[in-house]
Amino acid sequence: MASNKAVAYKGAGVVEIIDTPFPTFELQDGPGVNPENVGRKVPHGVILRTVATNICGSDQHMVRGRTTAPTGLVLGHEITGEVIETGRDVEFIKVGDIVSVPFNISCGRCRNCKEGKTGICLNVNPDRPGSAYGYVDMGGWVGGQAEFVLVPYADWNLLRFPDRDQALEKIMDLTMLSDILPTGFHGAVTAGVGVGSTVYVAGAGPVGLAAAASALLLGAAVVIVGDLNEERLAQARSFGCETINVANGDPADQIEQILGVREVDAAIDAVGFEARGHGDGATAKEAPATVLNSLMDITAAGGSLGIPGLYVTGDPGAVDEGAKKGSLSLSLGTGWAKSLSFTTGQCPVMKYNRQLMMAILHDKIAIAKAVNAKAISLADAPRGYAEFDAGAATKYVLNPNGYLDN
């Protein structure tokens, strides 16, 4: 049996490289695997040799100990790989294909999948709609920060790149199709961004930068990115965004200095539940509802908020009892009075990934440059997690099998 090394969560602030079983076409018991999924047959799946797998801010929430993730959970949901074995029921995907794996697992058969709502598939997670690789409470499908990984419903889930050589040449861009580029794009689309829009993006992490780049791709006139981290704000400016540091005062005041008015047409929350307050001392105090309430203030009446930032129902490290179960102090009256629209939840990656693949292949978006992607070895994953947690303006891309130039 071939070996398989992977990145596993070992407790708050700790990840380690472990030996883990080589994938088979049957789900095995293990950390985080839903008992009802143990023994589940996957004849419709494929086994991938991982080409690239990225460290995501959502992974970081777990590694910080801010979720109920179990010790030993193999991490990783941003997967690009080469098919090395196909299950007996796979018809169209072939050995040797280079493919992108949507982070949300979907069956292609249920009502939600048939309606394009692949982020809330009804058949892959016994506990709730929606599933993902290597993520807490998502059904226990093993993560892809590993040398090899199993992908179910392969003919449905996988996006095959049309040309192997072209794909490998642009792989640092294409690896963003598994999550952050569609997620950022979804944030911009659901915020109503279009030609001539003024847009505010809260958060200059990789998803925020992807949302900003997506807003520009959609024709926004001005994209303003807000954050506390000056290095990340400089990264946003590198591809044409305006920026504000929310530690320096009310975002509305700073937006007015840029636009001449205190509101934008569209707003995107790329921060999520670990938000911090705005103004003096903002770096020190966590305030999980701050971003959402701020966006309601600065979005013009009748506008929309795209909310790709992660919010959870279980946060043991939250600042108050309500936030520990996902209950936040929202000024919903503000949103109601301004007739604002809100879109939350997992991005349905398959709704966008082919179009965004074409945009990458034809040089319409340089997403790896926008998020400052950097390839590192699988063994360097603990360092990547630590540097990302410390605020590095870098999207770390793991290279388990030597396809990338580190």
pLDDT tens for each residue of the chain, 406 residues long: 578 999 999 999 999 999 999 999 999 998 988 899 999 999 999 999 999 999 998 899 899 888 888 999 999 999 999 999 999 999 999 999 999 999 999 999 999 999 999 999 999 999 999 999 999 888 889 999 999 999 999 999 999 999 999 999 999 999 999 999 999 999 999 999 999 999 999 999 999 999 999 999 999 999 999 999 999 999 999 999 999 999 998 999 999 999 999 999 999 999 987 777 777 665 657 777 889 999 999 999 999 999 999 887 777 877 788 778 878 888 999 999 999 999 999 999 999 999 999 999 999 999 999 999 999 999 999 999 999 999 999 999 999 999 998 6
Sheet holding 341-343, edge to edge: 242-245, 222-227, 198-202, 264-269, 299-306, 341-343
**Which CATH topology does 180-343 take?**
Rossmann fold (3.40.50)
Location of structure tokens 């494929």: 46
- In the chain, where the domains are located: 5-179+348-399, 180-343
Query: Are 172 and 149 spatial neighbours (Cβ–Cβ below 8 Å)?
Result: no
5-179+348-399 topology per CATH:
Quinone Oxidoreductase; Chain A, domain 1 (3.90.180)
Q: What beta strand segments (E) does 161-247 contain? A: 198-202, 222-227, 242-245
* Rounded distance between C-alpha atoms, residue 147 and residue 51, angstroms: 8
C-alpha 227/C-alpha 232 separation (Å) is 8
Question: Rounded to whole angstroms, how far apart are CA atoms 240 and 224?
Answer: 9
> What is the pTM assigned to this prediction?
0.95
Residue in the block written with tokens 């797998």? 53
CA-nearest of 351, 202, 372 to 290 is: 202
Tokens (6 digits) for 180: 């952050």
